[in-house]
Amino acid sequence: MAAATFAKLSSLTSSFKSPIPISLSTLPFSTSPQNPTHHRYTDFSCSLSHASSNPRSASAAVTQKTAPSHDFVSRYADGEPRKGADILVEALEREGVKDVFAYPGGASMEIHQALTRSKIIRNVLPRHEQGGVFAAEGYARSSGVPGVCIATSGPGATNLVSGLADAMLDSIPLVAITGQVPRRMIGTDAFQETPIVEVTRSITKHNYLVLDVDDIPRIVSEAFFLATSGRPGPVLIDVPKDIQQQLAVPKWNQPPRLSGYMSRLPKAPNESHLEQIVRLVSESKRPVLYVGGGCLNSSEELKRFVELTGIPVASTLMGLGVFPISDELSLQMLGMHGTVYANYAVDKSDLLLAFGVRFDDRVTGKLEAFASRAKIVHIDIDSAEIGKNKQPHVSVCSDVKLALQGINKILENKGANLNLDYSDWRQELNKQKVEFPLSYKTFGEAIPPQYAIQVLDELTGGNAIVSTGVGQHQMWAAQFYKYRKPRQWLTSGGLGAMGFGLPAAIGAAVANPDAVVVDIDGDGSFIMNVQELATIRVENLPVKILLLNNQHLGMVVQWEDRFYKANRAHTYLGDPSNESEIFPNMLKFAEACGIPAARVTKKEDLKAAIQKMLDTPGPYLLDVIVPHQEHVLPMIPSGGAFKDVITEGDGRTQY
């Protein structure tokens, strides 16, 4: 690819400039304490808040990020030239970044050297770039603050791809920085050169190729604004090595070049639309709330809305924790592996209030049959999602937090005049809860995986931050752990990326040093990023790993049982020549990294083993051996409707 072609890869970069020894542009302010510069997006103002992390994070209702309480003081004197890499690191500091997940290489060495000169930023060294980007996601998902990961060019950059795609699908604010070959070598197939801007164009919210060292402050500021405003998402910044090495005097107060983006950000909701929603609520007899990750920052407003109306709440996988699962109005999760009563409520409802959701296929199944009796109200921050899969009767393109605040105000003003009474509807749903509870069977001394999660919930009081891999264990963790608040539940939803759980737990532990962080993992997912045990040990992160080990790729085995006559097609993960032994021995992985570990095989020993895991200071791995015949139930087959729900059976039955 020619250099001129590559230069077009970012729509917001400056034109190509030849390398110069020093850029002597003057600073528009003093970096001395007498005239400090604040950080966190103070250049931007917009009618919409900077939303948080997670699906269309329709939240955060302030119009501008406030500057931090302390003044930023540069370690460089006014007008003092410094390398582009040092400008980049200071730009991160000015955005409030305290932690990054960065793995060095030839094209990013200058950035790492600059990081060693920072007294503010801590680098948590992953053992694989995918571990780094998933850790940055765990950091963002659990804190609401953008996660930052850094990788070198070529294979380092391409190792970030799964994490960027995951953040894009789940709307996670992420800033990924990659080293690139020097500008003069771009397009020559140089050593460790990949056009990462082109590779990631469709899986990032935006990306940049930095072609002028003077653009670094503006680009970093814009990247954080883009990652967190509107519907959050990942932004990539590709920095050629000669730009990192070039000396310059930074210009910190450059105006953003985002006029088109700013003009498209949603405005505050129209009050007449909110009045219309309240009218539909008052006319409804069987309303149900369908809430997703877009509500993560509007949990309090949602709880107030439920308090004012008494409408039951069904949550998506990404929305778990937005509304307390233990609340009597919670229907828990809906969708393919949702509760019977949540899916029943949606099927029988006459009004579906869809807040911060995208009508994903794993929720809706057969679209024509989903909520077919209901009028649909859709509130979402992303206009592209409204009407994409399911046409709503009333739609509001807005921050869910602002919309709920407006709706609650109308409800409070109208008060008793509305005379909302859904007691018959709630009674009907309570009968479904009694008739079709989440349940499982026990076979002899074997440990039901669902029971292991119930015990963990009991012993942690439902207060742990839980990360997962992808598969059966993920669904059981969604069903049987009773999440109390937002940002407790970290999982790869849209992409379904195995190997997510362990590095995500690292990010959560870094962002929440006082929290109990548990990675509920499966043996297949765990081994995909098992090398991150080394990071956990070196950083002494108190990550607990509850490994549900069934020696199989469990969810695929379940589909084989149900739809392929139990024909095993490469889903056994053990050693076929010695099936009686657990293989690989996960305890040896832990031992190799100096992490305490234990194995439990009998149900009667499980509670004490989990308690010991929680009581042991620092990291701990508990290998829980579970039967591979278990199925995640209920289950609505892909493309099916509520009438097709499966509630019985497992791998011990023939279909």
Going by pLDDT thresholds of 50, 70 and 90, the confidence category of residue 49 is very low
> CA dist 391 to 282, 318, 364, 375, 395, Å?
22, 21, 13, 10, 9
Q: What is the DSSP letter of 327?
A: S
Catalytic-residue membership of 454 = no
Q: Report whether pLDDT(31) > 50.
A: no
Q: Are the beta carbons of 297 and 51 closer than 8 angstroms? A: yes
Going by pLDDT thresholds of 50, 70 and 90, the confidence category of residue 655 is confident
**Mean pLDDT on 468-495:** 98
Q: Which residue has the tokens 């709307």?
A: 171
Q: Report whether pLDDT(22) > 90.
A: no
For helices 449-460 and 472-480, the axis angle rounded to 10 degrees is: 40
Q: What is the DSSP letter of 37?
A: B
Identify the pLDDT of residue 329. 98
Q: Are the beta carbons of 520 and 473 closer than 8 angstroms? A: yes
pLDDT over 90 for what percent of the chain? Answer: 87
Burial classification of residue 604, based on how many CB atoms lie within 10 Å of its CB (0-12 exposed, 13-18 middle, 19 or more buried): exposed
Identify the pLDDT of residue 415. 79
Q: Report whether pLDDT(603) > 90.
A: yes
Going by pLDDT thresholds of 50, 70 and 90, the confidence category of residue 70 is low
Q: Report whether pLDDT(58) > 70.
A: no
**Mean pLDDT on 212-218:** 98
**SS3 label, residue 223:** helix
Q: Report whether pLDDT(409) > 80.
A: yes
For CA atoms 77, 81, 83, 88, the dihedral sign is: positive
**Mind listing the pLDDT tens digit for each residue in 115-148?**
999 999 999 999 999 999 999 999 999 999 999 9
Identify the pLDDT of residue 653. 86
Identify the pLDDT of residue 230. 96
Q: Are the beta carbons of 104 and 177 closer than 8 angstroms? A: no
Q: Report whether pLDDT(302) > 60.
A: yes
The C-alpha atoms of residue 426 and residue 432 are separated, in whole angstroms, by: 10
Q: How many CB atoms lie within 10 A of CB 43?
A: 17
What type of residue is 587?
L
Catalytic-residue membership of 482 = no
- pTM for this prediction: 0.90
Q: How many CB atoms lie within 10 A of CB 361?
A: 15
Going by pLDDT thresholds of 50, 70 and 90, the confidence category of residue 71 is confident
The C-alpha atoms of residue 214 and residue 118 are separated, in whole angstroms, by: 20
Strands 394-397 and 174-180: unpaired
pLDDT over 70 for what percent of the chain? Answer: 89
| Catalytic choice (64, 113, 192, 276) | 192
Q: Which residue has the tokens 């509107």?
A: 230
**Mind listing the pLDDT tens digit for each residue in 328-379?**
999 999 999 999 999 999 999 999 999 999 999 999 999 999 999 999 999 9
Q: Which residues of 168-177 are buried (b: 16+ CB within 10 A; e: fewer)?
A: bbbbbbbbbb
For the chain, list the domains and their CATH numbers: 82-264 (3.40.50.970), 271-435 (3.40.50.1220), 449-632 (3.40.50.970)
Greatest CA separation for the chain: 77
Pick the closest to residue 108 from 75, 154, 76 (CA basis). Answer: 154
Going by pLDDT thresholds of 50, 70 and 90, the confidence category of residue 6 is very low
Going by pLDDT thresholds of 50, 70 and 90, the confidence category of residue 48 is very low
Question: Which parts of 284-331 fold into alpha helices (H)?
Answer: 299-309
Q: Are the beta carbons of 467 and 501 closer than 8 angstroms? A: yes
The C-alpha atoms of residue 246 and residue 152 are separated, in whole angstroms, by: 18
Q: What is the DSSP letter of 295?
A: G
What type of residue is 6?
F
Identify the pLDDT of residue 75. 93
Strand intervals (E) in 283-393: 287-291, 313-315, 330-333, 351-355, 375-380
Task: Rounding to the nearest 10 degrees, give the CA dihedral for residues 268, 359, 53, 274.
Answer: 20
Identify the pLDDT of residue 57. 40
Identify the pLDDT of residue 42. 37
Identify the pLDDT of residue 417. 82
**Mean pLDDT on 516-545:** 98
Q: Which residues contact 174 (CB under 8 A, 6 or more apart)?
A: 133, 136, 137, 140, 146, 147, 148, 149, 163, 164, 167, 227, 233, 234, 235
Q: Report whether pLDDT(608) > 80.
A: yes
Q: Which two tokens stand for residue 562?
A: 């149900």
Q: Report whether pLDDT(60) > 80.
A: no
Q: What is the DSSP annotation of 123-135?
A: E---SSHHHHHHH
The C-alpha atoms of residue 164 and residue 137 are separated, in whole angstroms, by: 9
Q: Report whether pLDDT(62) > 60.
A: no
- 639 or 41, which is more confident: 639
Identify the pLDDT of residue 382. 96
> CA dist 277 to 60, 280, 349, 351, 354, Å?
22, 5, 15, 10, 11
The DSSP bridge partners found for residue 520 are 468, 546
Q: Residue 597: enclosing H or E segment and its boundaries? A: strand 597-600
| Catalytic choice (129, 222, 301, 532) | 129
Q: Which two tokens stand for residue 348?
A: 């029988």
| Catalytic choice (191, 267, 412, 445) | 191
Q: Which residue has the tokens 């409804």?
A: 284
Q: What is the DSSP annotation of 50-66?
A: ---SSGGG-----SSPP
Catalytic-residue membership of 191 = yes
**Mind listing the pLDDT tens digit for each residue in 228-284?**
999 999 999 999 999 999 999 999 999 999 999 999 999 999 999 999 999 999 999
| Catalytic choice (336, 555, 613, 635) | 555
* Cα first-last separation, the chain: 54
Average pLDDT of the chain to the nearest whole number: 90
**Mean pLDDT on 478-501:** 98
Q: Report whether pLDDT(35) > 60.
A: no
